[in-house]
Amino acid sequence: MNLKSLSQFFAKDKSHRILILLACLLALVLGILSWSVPPGIDPDPCWGFLVMDGIAKHAPWNTYITVDPFNIAKNHYEFLAWWSPGQYLVPYLFKCLLNINTAKAVAVTLIVCNVLGLTGFYKLFTRLGFSRQVSAITIAFVATQLFFVNSYVYFLGGEVLLFAFLGWFLYGCFSIEKITWQILLFVFLGGLLGFFAKSSVLWMFAAAVGCIWINVGMAETGSSHKPWYDKTTLWAWIRNGLLLAIPFVAALAVIYVGYMSKGDNPTSDTGPLLVLPETFGYPLAAPILSGFSVDELVDGLIYHTDAPMVSYQAAIMMIVIFALACIAFVAFIGKLSHNKKYPVVLIFFYALGTAFFSYMYIRQATISYEGRHFRMIAMLFMPGFVYLLMKTKVSRMVFFAMWIAYAYLSFNSFKIQYVANRQTAKGPVTGFVQQVYDQATIDEVVRLDHMHYNDAIFVFNGPDIAMEVKQNRTIINDDDMNETVFASLKYRGKAGTIYIITPTRYIKNGKLSVLTKSFVDYHHFTYRQITAAYGISEARE
């Protein structure tokens, strides 16, 4: 099929149904592949799955079980306020219902959430005034993006739950034309459900409530045929705003008192004020960086764990160009779109998202410069981009050529990572691919765990392998922990056998010595090499 026949196909009345079906079918097929070969996992959701293990051990709600540093014989419960609970509770639901391991439960979660997300955003786009063809093409284009495809080979946590939630929630928001008690309940429950999916939803929740207020105001003003500055109309706007503030504030209060105030969260860990070119530029450019997988294609413009593919100067230049393009798009889309709802949601989300993230970056909060944080803003930009590109024959040809190129890059990346996952060590308990540890080390940890029942403590430098320990407690000291904090670690008391699993580089850099000395009441650690990369230090009570 050439580009001309593609254009003719998308002009047909029924093509939107085929595209939606194909997009959902792709989500299913990728999910089946992820079931067959489990994905890798980001450290963030690993903490959630450690909390999930606490459920089976009757730990308090949403807490991670570790040791009390003043007496390691006792438990210490850390409330996990840094991430929302949905990233582990939804997979846990499928794990219990289907009697499968955690990795397979994640595969099911990916299928369900991605299908819900695709269909939800399709409904939203049509509600915002886009044709069924433009909405379906947008959804199909999203389904072939690098960020969508790679979610099946590397699990990031709450992003996929937020994708499932937000489209349907905003569809409901833009279906509201009058404030009733049912609508107030919808707003309140929507805020709680959104936070359950991902904690960063709070600024999106504020934008969504603002959209409801504008949408209802426009509907009432249109039906009354009175100008907005009329006293009756003006009072109606004020009354609606006050009514919507009730469930909004109530939801925030429940979230803060019942969850966020109980532990550290990304907004509580800040540094001195800092302003850089990317502080404002990255959020402004995010619709393109995130929506077209630019950040993923270059392995991170600003934030990258490996050597950068693009120099800092070139990255800033790209950010400036993309930011100006996004601002111009927002400025002109209102004139090009016949529906007033789309500019409303675009402006609210773009403005609040830019303000929120720029403020967090100025405060140096623990929020990275990654496109994934801006995915929902990008999703709202996408139908507008597609709408503009479908207006002329030349632009359509350019778009379809770009789509084919993007699809090739996405599926090729998926193939490479999928093959790598198939050949990488896997946790025999959770089923996840362990991208850091080798199979021999993982098997040895699991063997030692089976030898003890609540009378051993395992010390790791990351949460990923800790998920494989089920019968004993763990201590996790992040590999990037501040050196001063690391050197001050002290654990007192005795509680059976201590196993410290470390990379061999810990011997040369002195970290292993610090760890063994941190257990002040254990004086005889013996070290043995498991593999060339990892070793284990053991001390008995």
Rg (CA), the chain: 25
- 274 contacts 386 by C-beta, under 8 angstroms: no
Report the alpha-carbon distance of residue 141 to residue 146 in Å, rounded.
10
- Ordered DSSP codes for 338-376: S-SHHHHHHHHHHHHHHHHHHHHHHTT-S----GGGGHH
- Beta strand 497-503 with 534-539 is antiparallel
**pLDDT tens for the 541 residues of the chain, in order:** 455 555 554 555 567 888 999 999 999 999 999 999 999 998 889 999 999 888 878 888 899 889 999 999 999 998 988 889 999 999 999 999 999 999 999 999 999 999 999 999 999 999 998 999 999 999 999 999 999 999 999 998 889 999 999 999 999 999 998 899 999 999 999 999 999 999 989 999 999 999 999 988 887 766 545 555 566 778 888 899 999 999 999 999 999 999 988 888 777 777 788 888 889 999 999 999 998 888 888 888 888 777 788 888 998 999 999 999 999 998 887 666 667 788 888 988 999 999 999 999 998 888 888 888 899 999 999 999 999 888 888 988 999 999 999 899 999 999 999 999 999 888 889 999 988 899 999 999 999 999 998 899 999 988 999 999 999 999 998 877 778 888 889 999 999 999 999 999 998 888 899 999 999 999 899 999 999 999 999 999 8
Closest C-alpha to 346, from 211, 158, 463: 211
Going from N- to C-terminal start, the domains of the chain cover 1-71+84-175+392-435, 439-539
Report the alpha-carbon distance of residue 6 to residue 400 in Å, rounded.
8
- Ordered DSSP codes for 72-102: EEEEEEEE--SS-THHHHHHHHHHHHHT--H
* Predicted model pTM: 0.90
Phi, psi of 280, deg, nearest 5? -100, -35
Report the alpha-carbon distance of residue 86 to residue 195 in Å, rounded.
8
HEC string of 148-189 equals HHHHHCEECCCHHHHHHHHHHHHHHHCCCCCCCHHHHHHHHH
- 176 contacts 216 by C-beta, under 8 angstroms: yes
